[in-house]
Every structure is written in C-alpha cells, then in structure tokens.
Amino acid sequence: MNWEYLQPVVIKFGCGIRKEIKAAAEALGCENGLLVSDPFFVSSGLAEQLVSESDGILTGIFGEVSPNPDVTEVDACAKVIKEKGHGFVVALGGGSALDCAKAAASICLTDDSIRKYHGTGEAMPKEHLPLIAVPTTAGTGSEVTCVSVLTDHANGKKSPIVSDGFYPAVAMIDPELTYSMPPKVTASTGIDVLCHALEGFWSKGHQPVCDALALHACKLVFTYLKRAYTDGSDKEAREKMAEASVIAGMAFTLPKTTASHACSFPLTNLHHIPHGEACGLTLDYFARINAGAENGRLQKFAEELGFESVEKMADAIYQLKKELGLRTDLKDLSLTEDEIAELVRISRHPNLYNNPVEITDEMLSKMYHQLA
C-alpha cells in the first residue's frame, strides 16, 4: 500500500493558549489582522477582548458568521478584508466561523465571488492570507483541515470546497473556549468528532497515520463525550474532547469523509438539523453496512475500541445518541414520499463515492424510510 501524509498546520494546544494569539501572529510576521467570529462571541465580549489584548495586531472584527455559513457571508468578509487592507485573519468560533474565514482569506486576493468555486469543481487559487484558527467547539477539526464547507442558501446547495490554501498557518486549541457550549451544541459537535474519526478510518482513502489518529479520537469520544455533555464544567472531559476534535480532524482531512457526511448535507439544508447531529443520524447505519468492507478491517478497529463486533459498536453509537438527546430518527418531520425522494437525490454527493461499500439509491431510500 502506498500512501502520503501531510499536516502543514502548527498546532498549539492548552488551556489559556488563546492569550498567545499575538505572539503567534508576530512569529508569522503578520499585522493589521481581522478577527472573524459569530454573533455569540461578539455579544459575549470575547471577540472585543481578544482584539484589545492583541496590542493593535488585530484591528477589526467581522462578527456576522451564521451556522452553515452562506457564500454571501464569505464575499462580505472578503470585502472587509480588501477595504481595510487586512494582512491576516484570526478565526474564532465553531466550524462555521473557521470555514467562512478560510474561504474569505483566499477569495479576498481575487476579484471573484466564492460562488465561482462552490460546488463547481473549479480549483481555488492557492494564494491566501495567513490564518490563525481558534476553535470554540469540539468539533469540526476545521482548524487542521484543508476544507471549507459553505452553503448557497439561494440555490439550496451545501458543499465542501477543498484547497491546500485552506490549511491554517496555526491552530490554537484552547479547551477553555469550549466551556460555554450548551449541552445541545456539545452533543451535536461531539458526535461530529466520532463521524470524522470513523468515516476517515473506513473511507476509501484511508492510510495508516490517519487510522492511528482515528482510533485515538474514537477512544476519547466514547470515554469523554457523555461526561462533557452531562457536566459542561468537567474540565478533564472538555480537554479530552478538544483533543479528540483536532485529532479526528487530522484523521479525515486526507482520507475525506463518506456516506454519513454526504447524507448530512440535505438533512441540514432542507430540514435544519445541526451538522453533527445530521451526520450522527446515519453513523450507526453505515457502520453496519460497512462492517464487512475490505476484509473486515472495521471489525478489528471495533475490537481495539473494546467492542465484540461492529454490530456492538453500532449499538453503542445508537445508545450514545439517545443518552445525548440526539436524533435517532426523522419521525417528527412527517416526511412525504416526495421529501424522502429528495433526500435520496441530494445525498448523492461526491463523499458518498468515498464510502467503502457502494451505496445505491435503493439503499438510501430504504434507510430514509426506516428513519421516517
């Protein structure tokens, strides 16, 4: 088996590490930075605090990133960067703020709208402003990935853009920033970590380094997510989930995600289910489907996690979702046959072809009928 591993992001991890943003920017030789964040951190005062603690290195805030950021937000953020002549970007928030900042830090160096590259297959230019990513969820792992997931709400399209230019220069993971996540956000973003690790492992593009990272991240999620959800002030659980998140990010950014992420896009777009919860909805289903793929390598993985079989691991994922108050079906949506057909159609996303077992429309239809 031939493989290549690359991880170009400098990773700084630890409680309080956010206080070193200024030093990290100075080490990159950056000045006149823009802080990109979401309304929660603007109203909590943290965005303003980071700017004032930066001693003039950060000079502005773009605080309007919404969950599942729209392509128009990227264009608006890029416009601010251009108009103010910002020299680098700090992204503070969950995957949404990070992804918006990544795309804006690239597109600001062109005359294009990000729409030119979203879901079109057109390659992004590699040039970009330096980006320091400071995640506040655990999480998407976006701080170490070359992916930016954007939505074009006007055209009903949610899709990742992949570009080497999206790797942040530095990821600063401060577990303290996740303490304020409410239980529902902890649960949804935490199950996303499990999806990244498992999908990275069983993906067609799997490779040994990412496999090892996936195993470590899965162990942490099965041990600490329930604790972080039950008691948000459990510092050890928060720290371990922050670790799981960044490690899972490294486990999937090269192999890429698979069927659960493909199915999440219409579930989020059409039915407003948060990203992690939408991915988690089908994770146990696809674990069972993928159990025998590639000579049963998932069986060995399940055993290393302490499960007798893939079936038992899938049962544990289902049970974990129930304990975290996450969806295990779509019954409350009273889906019509047309709506199920639409879910099947839009789930046919490139990530689906990265699943180790071929997923047919008949399989998707059966799955959605079971969930509905």
Using CB under 6 A, list all residues that contact ligand NAD. 38, 40, 67-68, 93-97, 99, 136-137, 139-142, 145, 147-149, 177-178, 180-181, 185, 189, 192, 275-276
Kindly state the helix (H) or strand (E) to which residue 35 belongs, with its residue range: strand 33-36
**Nearer to ligand NAD by C-beta: 181 or 241?**
181
Give least dist CB 195 to Zn ion, A: 6
**Nearer to Zn ion by C-beta: 235 or 271?**
271
> What does the block give as tokens for 91?
């992204």
Give least dist CB 32 to ligand NAD, A: 25
Residues contacting Zn ion: total by CB under 5 A: 1
Distance of CA 36 to the CA centre of its chain: 17
Give least dist CB 195 to ligand NAD, A: 8
**Nearer to Zn ion by C-beta: 192 or 211?**
192
- Which of Zn ion, ligand NAD, none interacts with 185 (beta carbon under 5 to 8 A by kind)? ligand NAD
CB–CB of 94/137 below 8 Å? yes
Question: Which parts of the chain fold into alpha helices (H)?
Answer: 21-27, 39-43, 46-53, 71-84, 95-107, 183-202, 208-230, 235-252, 259-271, 275-281, 283-290, 293-304, 310-323, 337-347, 361-371
**N- to C-terminal Cα separation, the chain:** 41
**What secondary structure does DSSP assign to 68-90, as a single string?**
S-BHHHHHHHHHHHHHHT--EEE
Residues 190-219 that bind Zn ion (CB under 5 A): 192
**Nearer to ligand NAD by C-beta: 80 or 162?**
162
Give least dist CB 6 to ligand NAD, A: 15
Q: Is 282 helix (H, G, I), strand (E, B) or coil?
A: coil
The span from the CA of 268 to the CA of 2, in Å, is: 36
- Which of Zn ion, ligand NAD, none interacts with 189 (beta carbon under 5 to 8 A by kind)? ligand NAD
**Nearer to ligand NAD by C-beta: 191 or 314?**
191
Give least dist CB 321 to ligand NAD, A: 16
